[in-house]
Amino acid sequence: MSTTEESILAPAQTAPATKGGAVAAYIDDRLASASFTKRLLDKVFPDHWSFMLGEIALYSFIILLLSGTYLTLWFNPSMTEVIYNGSYVPLKGVKMSEAYSSTLAISFDVRGGLLMRQIHHWAALFFVAAVSVHLLRVFFTGAFRKPREINWVIGTLLLVLALLEGFAGYSLPDDLLSGTGLRIAEGIIQAIPLVGTYVAMFLFGGEFPGTDFMPRLYSIHILLIPGILLGLITVHLIMVFYQKHTQFPGPGRTESNVVGFRLFPIYMAKAGGFFFVVFGITVLIAALVTINPVWMYGPYTPSQVTAGSQPDWYIGWLDGAVRLTPNWETSILGHTLSWNILIPALIVPGIMFTALGLYPWIEAWATGDKREHHLLDRPRNAPTRTALGVMSLVFYMILVISGGNDVIAVAFNLSINQITWGFRVLLFVAPPLAFVITKRICLGLQRSDNNKLLHGYETGRILRLPSGEFLEIHEPIGEAERAKLLAKADVIPLELPSAVDENGVRNPKAAKSIARAKLSQWFYSDVIPTPTDAELREAAHHAEHELHQAQSHLKEIESH
Amino acid sequence: MALNRRHPAALFAVLVVGLGTTGAAYAAVSAQTAPKAAVRTETQVEQGKQLFLEGCSSCHGLAAQGGSDGPSLIGVGSAAVDFQVSTGRMPLAAPGVQAMPKTPSYNEAETAALAAFVATLAPGPAIPTEEMLNTSNAEVALGGELFRTNCAQCHGANGVGGALSQGRVAPSLMGSDAKTIYEAMVSGPQSMPVFANSTLSIEDKQGIIRYIQELQKNESPGGFSLGRLGPVTEGLFIFIAGLGALIIAAVWIGAKAK
């Protein structure tokens, strides 16, 4: 059976009056893009500085694509051994791979090459930093809640891919640092039980380092991962368009609207301008500050290693985890299980990324919340989530800092052994402490918000009455802040279901709902309720009375 | 009046004789006070012994045989003494895991005397001669290879130093002169291994010194070097300066809307 489809091209009704109109009409007659473009350009975005963190990541990615393309024109990912004869004298006559010698050529002999390399590397650090901080913003404001869970998972995938992509780039120049990094990566692959050795041999095409891996890594770095990244970023952005951007609570902002500016002209100008700010700052840093001086590290040979071998910052937490883990190994039937690598490099990251990706569902299950959320939470209004976030962040930060334990030891004249033990203890002690402290701070801030709603803000003006009494004058808060504070939604934790039904028969399904209710109570039991309308009215009345009283006291004082 | 009359050449003769004797005397004296490192005189050894008994024997023992507080110095050679004393590591500022450099306590002549005395106890590595420290013909690329193979795992490929276990450190080489580096290689102070001539020939050592001198020039074609500490400081920089600047820009752009 055939289906008829209407032509999307509708003939222009009237002839356009201007030249620009004529061009637009010409394009529209062929692409029928006018209505789509109009919808696109009229799209409204809310305004907040933290909504631009994702943009920094996007722009860094564009800078990476552009600078990376320039580097591909000269970089040669070959492990063929050559004798260096370029302009960097201290390496003249040294045997090295073509990969390393072409990196040196880019740094010293290609016009603008060193600047381009530094732009590429700094932009990579920027990219992962911006992705991470953007993730924190989305997490702490609850922007991952329904209907945006899928986009959260895409974001998590983007982060994992960004880490892999960065590590691949770090490994390509074949200098002493990158080779050491690859050696560790190979060790991690080998630590996978049963299949590890086979997988490593398959990836490297034989024994480490071999000659096959570098060209393979190059294809992965310049084609495979960037392609997937580009595709996922596109989906990520289309979903933001389609689902609309979230916004912070405020006057006139509801779950069903978006208050802000249209994409054209305001956001075109803002975002376009911001791109140039990001580009400008990246180039400025790249022009002024050295990054990864590969010529100092020398070519990679498996027999050499340098003190202070560190990965780029975003792999630092994995390095730190490996540095903190004691040298546990077990031998089973002649096979060694390297827990010292398996735990920090595979099990812990596996758990961390799984928990990260699944978090929207974990929280939704605990709350039983099936509603859509387009208004963001202020972090203080979701104390348990905020505390969980800070707890994870502290855990992560201790791992990152441990990755630099040798640099810290030298810089602060400390013993590396003591630092390592200190961090081992902190890794288990500090996160729970951070959880409790953060939660208390959030609840305190909520109480302060309630105080503001009920009694107004403290003006700092103290009045001393003739009787000797002191009064501080409170004034009501503004409408905008009031709307923001009142937007807090109180969540009532799920009640514990009874384990037996009304006839005293054990309910087999109760166990699951009891677990869920317990989680829900853990999340929300100490929630501080927002003042009710009646309380607010009474407080307003009381405040008015107090203000009136204060004013009459003032008059009394003045008349004396 | 004949007594008063001087031959026209007399003034020149007096000058020649005067300058000649002064020069000869100076040459003799200076040869005595600044002997070549390898040459030691009896008085110097005597002076060194005196200094040793006063300043070193409480830990190293009256006969330099060592004890619970310090190692034996018999056979360590003049290179070890010169390295430890001229960098201020000895006398020890405070007991600890490692002697740290400080302002030297002994002047050059006293250091040379101490070295000369210890060298008489038993044969050991000697202070290198000027010729041994001449790196003008040394191969810098070979030196770099040897440096990365033998030195970089502790001192870092950049030569800025690194951590060892239990609070010990491989110090930065950025302020070390050729003689100090050479003496460290032949004497193997503290945690450092000894690189005897059978391991690294004199030419190899000269190459390494030449490469370190290249590193010391601190030519940083890429801009500020951030202490040459590698990815750690680069990461700190991108978060504090880089992302900091961009967030300020974002706040600024966000604020303009109001």
Per the model's pLDDT, the better-predicted residue between A249 and A511 turns out to be: A249
Residue with tokens 């040298």: A327
The DSSP secondary structure of A7-23, one letter per residue, reads -S-PPPSS--SSHHHHH
Which DSSP symbol is given to B151?
Answer: T
Select from B162, B211, B239 the Cβ nearest to the Cβ of A90.
B211
| Average pLDDT value for residue range A8-28 | 76
Identify the residue among B174, B238, B243, B252 best suited for mutation to test binding to A, counting A beta carbons within 10 A and taking the highest.
B238
pLDDT in tens, B187-197: 999 999 999 99
Report how far residue A346's alpha carbon sits from residue B229's, in angstroms, rounded to the nearest whole number: 28
Distance from CA of A341 to the nearest CA of B (A): 21
User: Measured between CB atoms, does A47 come within 8 Å of chain B?
Assistant: yes
For residue A17, pLDDT beyond 90: no
**CA separation, residue B40 to residues B33, B87, B184, B248 (Å):** 11, 21, 22, 67
What tokens does A168 get? 């691949």
User: Measured between CB atoms, does A530 come within 8 Å of chain B?
Assistant: no
Q: What angle do CA A221, A224, A230 make, to 5 degrees?
A: 100
Which residue in chain B is spatially nearest to A266 when comparing CA positions?
A: B257
Report the 10 Å Cβ neighbour count for A531: 18
* pLDDT tier for residue A459 given thresholds of 50, 70 and 90: confident
At A1 the pLDDT is 52
At B107 the pLDDT is 93
At B162 the pLDDT is 93
**Residues 274-313 (A) with a CB less than 8 A from some CB of B:** 274, 277-278, 281-282, 285, 287-293, 296-298, 301, 303-313
* pLDDT tier for residue B40 given thresholds of 50, 70 and 90: low
First vs last C-alpha separation in chain A: 98
Per the model's pLDDT, the better-predicted residue between A525 and A373 turns out to be: A373
| Average pLDDT value for residue range A434-450 | 95
Torsion sign (Cα): A77, A81, A83, A88:
positive
Can you name the residues that pair with A247 across neighbouring β-strands?
A: A375
Q: Where do runs of H (alpha helix) occur along A302-415? A: 316-324, 339-341, 348-367, 383-402, 405-411
Report how far residue A365's alpha carbon sits from residue A362's, in angstroms, rounded to the nearest whole number: 5
User: Measured between CB atoms, does A97 come within 8 Å of chain B?
Assistant: no
Query: What is the average pLDDT value for chain A, to the nearest integer?
Result: 91
What tokens does A202 get? 């398959």
Residues from chain B that touch A304, judged by Cβ atoms under 8 A, are 148-149, 152-153
**Cα atoms in the Cβ-side hemisphere of radius 13 Å centred on A556:** 11
- Superfamily of chain region A43-301: Cytochrome Bc1 Complex; Chain C (1.20.810.10)
| Average pLDDT value for residue range A298-321 | 94
pLDDT in tens, A117-158: 999 999 999 999 999 999 999 999 999 999 999 999 999 999
Residues from chain A that touch B152, judged by Cβ atoms under 8 A, are 176, 298, 304-307
Rounded to 10 degrees, the C-alpha dihedral B25/B29/B32/B34 comes to -120
**Residues 375-434 (A) with a CB less than 8 A from some CB of B:** 403-407, 409-410, 413-418
For residue B34, pLDDT beyond 70: no
Torsion sign (Cα): A436, A438, A439, A445:
positive
* pLDDT tier for residue B37 given thresholds of 50, 70 and 90: very low
For residue A9, pLDDT beyond 80: no
- Identify the H or E element spanning B30: helix B10-33
CB B187 within 8 A of CB B76: yes
Residues from chain A that touch B144, judged by Cβ atoms under 8 A, are 90-91, 94, 298
Taking alpha carbons only, the member of B202, B205, B189, B195 closest to residue B81 is B189
Rounded to 10 degrees, the C-alpha dihedral A84/A86/A91/A93 comes to 40
Residues from chain B that touch A316, judged by Cβ atoms under 8 A, are 231-232, 235
Q: What domains, with CATH codes, occur in chain B?
A: 42-121 (1.10.760.10), 140-216 (1.10.760.10)
At B1 the pLDDT is 45
CB A166 within 8 A of CB A315: yes
**CA separation, residue B12 to residues A182, A501, B4, B22 (Å):** 80, 132, 17, 15
CB A107 within 8 A of CB A295: yes
pLDDT in tens, B14-26: 777 777 777 776 6
| Average pLDDT value for residue range A21-29 | 86
Report the 10 Å Cβ neighbour count for A529: 11
Residue with tokens 């054209």: A264
pLDDT above 90: percentage of residues in chain A: 63
Residue with tokens 């960004």: A162
* pLDDT tier for residue A517 given thresholds of 50, 70 and 90: confident
At B5 the pLDDT is 61
Select from B229, B236, B246 the Cβ nearest to the Cβ of A278.
B246
Can you name the residues that pair with B96 across neighbouring β-strands?
A: none
The DSSP secondary structure of A88-130, one letter per residue, reads -GGGTT-EEEHHHHHHHHHHHTSTTHHHHHHHHHHHHHHHHHH
Could you state, in order of their start, the residue ranges of all structural domains in chain A? 43-301, 442-559
pLDDT in tens, B139-161: 999 999 999 999 999 999 999 99
| Average pLDDT value for residue range A102-126 | 97
Report how far residue A476's alpha carbon sits from residue A534's, in angstroms, rounded to the nearest whole number: 17
* pLDDT tier for residue B39 given thresholds of 50, 70 and 90: low
Report how far residue A91's alpha carbon sits from residue A294's, in angstroms, rounded to the nearest whole number: 11
At B242 the pLDDT is 94
